[in-house]
Structure 1
């Protein structure tokens, strides 16, 4: 009778298979939607009215690669103890999370604004909302066309 030999997979094969299964388990579709963005803005503002103006959102209207999109946001404010920006939040509608970034400021900040690079999953709207020391909220929205999407999770 012939002898049966069990062939076990190599350590490398097991690790590769495990990594493949782990990546499948971690893949999830993008969750943010325009409604999710609106809800994130409501959470930031506490449901208060947001007025368009005073905020400048500088982001290219057309980007070739969504992996690194330059974004700058600033707010017109004297930045005095009586009148200053307390926070600026940036939101998007199609990334896995609607919250992009939040910056906090005080009267001694000198100016209210920041610049960064973000990832965009697809063509979408980006909105910046500023909270002022008097409790008012101001905003600006930009449409961005993305030719090569980032944040591909699904």
Structure 2
């Protein structure tokens, strides 16, 4: 039976081989070329769409965001984004009042269902925005306010 160290070493070799042969492609690289230069440095939604070379975003009922109304621990806030729109190219999660507005960026291929979840850090209460970019560069979004409490004492 393999010990933990052997399993981890084998996993690392397999992952590097898969990356080298293109089995992961750019879909596994959140900060790769598809993220756009400066996307993770953007401070607002407008800066982000400009960095990615996209047009103005439009609010849509086809984009859903899942987030708690009140997050008791701002260090790990569970967020989710999904859409029923066809031809999705990217899905992003944004936290308006974080130092970097872009919390997560997911590249989507036709084989992948455009529904993602992540745990992000939020320093204070803020609007959370789920953004979807379609193949024809339409930008759709949904937003929700999440209140972050410090030690359960309102915020």
TM-score range, shorter chain: 0.5 to 0.7
Shift of 1:74: 0.4
Can you give the 5+ residue segments of structure 2 that lack an aligned partner in the other structure? 1-41
Q: Which protein, 1 or 2, shows the higher relative CO under an 8 Å CA cutoff with sep ≥ 6?
A: 1
For these two proteins, the number of residue pairs brought into alignment is 109
Decide which of 89, 95, 112 is 2:98's aligned counterpart: 95
With the length of structure 1 as denominator, give the TM-score of the two structures: 0.64
| Rg (Cα) greater in structure | 1
With the length of structure 2 as denominator, give the TM-score of the two structures: 0.64
Root-mean-square deviation over aligned CA pairs: 1.9
Runs of 4 or more, structure 1, over 2 Å off, are: 38-47
Can you give the 5+ residue segments of structure 1 that lack an aligned partner in the other structure? 1-34, 78-82, 150-154
- Does the C-alpha gap of structure 1 residues 123 and 65 become closer, same or farther in structure 2, counting only changes over 3 Å? same
CA distance in 1, matches of 2:111, 2:140: 20
- In the TM superposition, what are the counterparts of 1:135-154 in structure 2 within 5 Å? 135-148=137-150
Q: What whole-Å deviation, never above 9, does each CA across 1:14-39 have from its counterpart, x for those lacking one? A: xxxxxxxxxxxxxxxxxxxxx92233
